[in-house]
Amino acid sequence: MKDTVGGTPTPSTLLLDWIHDGPVVAVLEGFTGVGKSTLVRRLAQSTSLPTAHVYGTTESLGVEDVLFELAAEFEHSGSDLMAKRIDENLIKVFDAMMRTECLAVIDDFHELVDPKTKLPPADFYNLLKRLATRHSKARLLLVTDQRLPFARTIELPIITLGPPDESDAMQLLDQLLISRRVEGEISPDLRSDVVQWVGRNPRALRALVSCLVDGDSLDDLIELQPEAWDVRYQAFSPSLVGKLEAEFLDRVIGRLESPSLLLLECLSVYRKPFVKAGIQPFAHKVGDVSRAYADLIGRFLLEHSTGWVTLNPVTRELARKRMEADQRRAREMHSLAAAHFLRHFKAKDKSDLPSRGSEFVEARYHLVLGGKEEAFQDLAEEYGGYLLANFGKSRPIPSDPKIARQTASTIIAALRGKRSGYPEARHTAARILESLGGHEDLLLALRHATVASSQTRDFQVWVLRVRLTARLETFSATVAALRQADSVLPAEALAHVYFAGIKVWMERQAPVRDLLGMLNHALPLSHGAPSSWVLYQLASVLLAAEGRYPDAFDLLVSHTARLERASPNLGLVIEQAALLAFAGGDRQGLQRIRDILVKRFERKNLEHLIDCLRHQLDHDFLEASIIQPVTGGSSAASLNYQLAFSDLCLGRPADALQRLKGLRSTHPAHVWVRSLAHFLLGHHHAALQHLRKYSSLALHEPNVDEEPSLAAWIKTWSRRSIAPGNDAAFVFPRIPSELTGLQHDIVRTVSADASLDSETLARIRTTDDFPVSSDDHLPEEGSTPEAGESFPSTPTVQTIIHFDQSGARMGDNNYVQQAGAVGSNATAPNGTFNQIQAGGGSDLDLTALAQELALLRAALRRQPDSEENDIALAEVGRASRAAQEGDQGKTLEHLRAAGKWALQTANSIGVALAATAIKTSIGMP
């Protein structure tokens, strides 16, 4: 291996220097397939330090597994400091290990990073921050395929391993072609192009050569991703290279003989490198397993190096999907893999258990996924102390059901034979089991929650117990559990516990009188507690469901009057009172709330909300729409929902989306009104995504009509949520004639359904008849330049005039090149403008631009589905058509709407002219 390249130290040299001189923690990052793991294994062999090399894995239970495996690996390497203390908290034990002279490598560390927060588990992150400033001879190397933003935050040294340079990549390609006797398939003058096409990635080059061996021509392979070939010298895109490799490997795998394909699918159950003996459990299934193994090695689908067999992650994922298509066969494969790891635990001598950490972790994984949980519980008894110390504490519920199943099984196995104690572990197991949702899971969750509640006053444990009791048992059993809570918990906690039980029985549609009876018992117990407002909210909804609107209204008003001005939930209670009055068309009620409550508590946004609802009752949506929320004030979100709805009634869906921009609420009403705004703008894919989300949140039914109409949106709005008050119609109880085109409003309250017969639905206008204002072409959220971006000093951005029913609306101090009216009070009735083109009217090569936009559109199609990508894809398509037609103004208009998402993709695939045009359209220099 080279020590330097052009005088610059290689990664291997930098790693050796790091081991000698520190600091304690470093990161080795690089794209997948460039040889990071091979480099690290060689590094470990070159040092005399006690060394442990472990992997973060998919479907891992977290850092606890990794630390347990580190303990075992260090013991194999001569240090038993961690292995002797596996029954303790392993974060603390690893901290102690990092004060000794040792080398720990955690490969694929990105698997331990939360995809939302971009951080590792909190305890481990805190340890990393301490290690970053510690002086010690210990070394910890984090190896990753992905950038780790937190590593830069805490200033960890980062060593980057890129692909080989062009000459090395060409040398590798030459060797591969000669070794497989296909050197004639790629002429020498094209080999430089080929290595650039696959990003000089060694693994992708091997996959390419495998395809050539199978009879594919280079031209055949180029056609898989022609746009990648076209931009091979313009930009290096790891995502394009990854897709190319997957395309190559999919072709190779599809041509395997049956024994080789079966062995590959069997081996895909292994999550990490394995010893060659790991093939034997599948020998009886495969037949001539040695021949199949040699075939996979020869096709570069497996690699055998330094005693370990590696299945590259792309190959594993492709093969695993094939294997898991048959769930019965998948369970069988996991059971066979489990037997491979269980063989280590058959000896009667248990003294080496700590050194079997890796085998235990993998045996657990395969036993649970193989449906052999009883066998796992037998094994887990040997590690009960370790499991309770490291898994028994409170932890987030895993989002992946497979990980959740493993975690719950692990905790329950550790609790086996223990009739009492460990309330935190039982609560964690019960929460995870509840998330899995199977009937047996729920029964087991209730059992553990009941035992835990007998030994703690943690109200969250009681909330879970009461919720599960309400789901699984009778109403009287729920009442009995609540009575036990009465004698244990303080008033503040009781409100939450009663809320949990009543909400479930609302969903189970218990008689309203029974639920009101439960509330009548609960309200005096929690009276005065800050959390009691949730019970008053429930009571008001139930009273309204019986048609007792005055009682519901009075209950909320009387309760609110007793709240302190600083109460954090005051606004929510007043909002609900206002919505109940609005649903009943009670103008006097709205005025009473304004006079009695809003003025007393001085909540400006609440005052605006009530004014907005009164204007809506009068069908004065224009007056409602000009209300300005107090930024950052309480109830701003609820007010913006109503203002957005008013915009829709005025035919201004783009303005509605602008109002909703930045709101992060997942309230069903927010999701529904956003979906309707997208639909009215013609963004049907985004509209359907939001409607499915709404249906899932409010109705627990994720499926919706794939060919929706405005009538379909109204039908979805009219349907009741399982729990009263949790649907769009509670917030928007009146759909006015301005929106539907009918001669009357449609009203749906908590107690009365909307009148929506087939004749009424048929008369609801189509979107073609919907009077969308002239601002409907405004770019959607995410497409405008971000704050802080630099702009040209002279105005070069296309001017867009916002029209509504009263004329043009523009902000003050507007500086524009051409406009019929400027200023907040200016109007420009019947104005016609020739809009000025972006870039000061400079000409673009529209023919070349159209070609690049076609490449950009193809790249956007391969991106994961998201609202931003859907918008960009549609607008780039429109821009491409406009460019083909020679219309520069429209081309730039659509590119401006495509926004920065399209710009990022254009930069990543190297379509320079398209990127420049997008920058110009949005005013970037």
Pull the structure tokens for residue 97. Answer: 């290990």
551-562 mean pLDDT:
71
Q: What is the spatial order of strands in the sheet that 25-29 belongs to?
A: 51-55, 103-107, 139-144, 25-29, 158-160
The residue ranges of DSSP E strands in 155-241, in sequence order, are 158-160
- Which tops the pLDDT comparison, 724 or 209? 209
What pLDDT, on a 0 to 100 scale, did the predictor assign at position 143? 92
Helix (H, G, I), strand (E, B) or coil at 219: helix
Instruction: Assess whether pLDDT exceeds 90 at residue 212.
Output: yes
What pLDDT, on a 0 to 100 scale, did the predictor assign at position 781? 39
Decide: 272 and 55 in contact? Cβ < 8 Å: yes
Q: What are the DSSP calls for 270-288, one per residue?
A: --S-B-GGGGGGGHHHHSS
Name the strand (E) or helix (H) holding 439.
helix 439-453
The set of residues, in sequence order, having a beta carbon less than 8 Å from that of 120 and lying 6+ positions away, is: 63, 109, 112, 113, 114, 128, 150
Helix (H, G, I), strand (E, B) or coil at 309: strand
Q: How confident is the model at residue 773 (pLDDT cuts 50, 70, 90)?
A: low
The torsion angles phi and psi of 207, rounded to 5 degrees, stand at -65, -40
Q: How confident is the model at residue 257 (pLDDT cuts 50, 70, 90)?
A: very high
Please identify which residue in the block is written with the tokens 């070939």: 229
Decide: 108 and 146 in contact? Cβ < 8 Å: no
Interval 874-903: pLDDT, tens: 788 888 878 877 788 888 888 888 877 788
The set of residues, in sequence order, having a beta carbon less than 8 Å from that of 136 and lying 6+ positions away, is: 22, 24, 98, 99, 100
Instruction: Assess whether pLDDT exceeds 50 at residue 798.
Output: no
Name the strand (E) or helix (H) holding 332.
helix 327-342
Q: Rounded to whole angstroms, how far apart are CA atoms 27 and 8?
A: 19
Three-state secondary structure string covering 292-307: HHHHHHHCCCEEEECC
Q: Rounded to whole angstroms, how far apart are CA atoms 587 and 582?
A: 7
Decide: 687 and 676 in contact? Cβ < 8 Å: yes
Longest dimension (CA), the chain: 93
Q: Rounded to whole angstroms, how far apart are CA atoms 185 and 525?
A: 83
Q: Provide the residue type at 519 as one letter.
A: L
Q: How confident is the model at residue 371 (pLDDT cuts 50, 70, 90)?
A: confident
What pLDDT, on a 0 to 100 scale, did the predictor assign at position 786? 31
Q: How far is residue 46 from each of residues 475, 832, 887, measured CA to CA in Å?
A: 68, 76, 64
Q: How confident is the model at residue 597 (pLDDT cuts 50, 70, 90)?
A: low
Q: How confident is the model at residue 550 (pLDDT cuts 50, 70, 90)?
A: confident
Angle at 224 between CA 222 and CA 226, to 5 degrees: 55
Q: How confident is the model at residue 341 (pLDDT cuts 50, 70, 90)?
A: confident
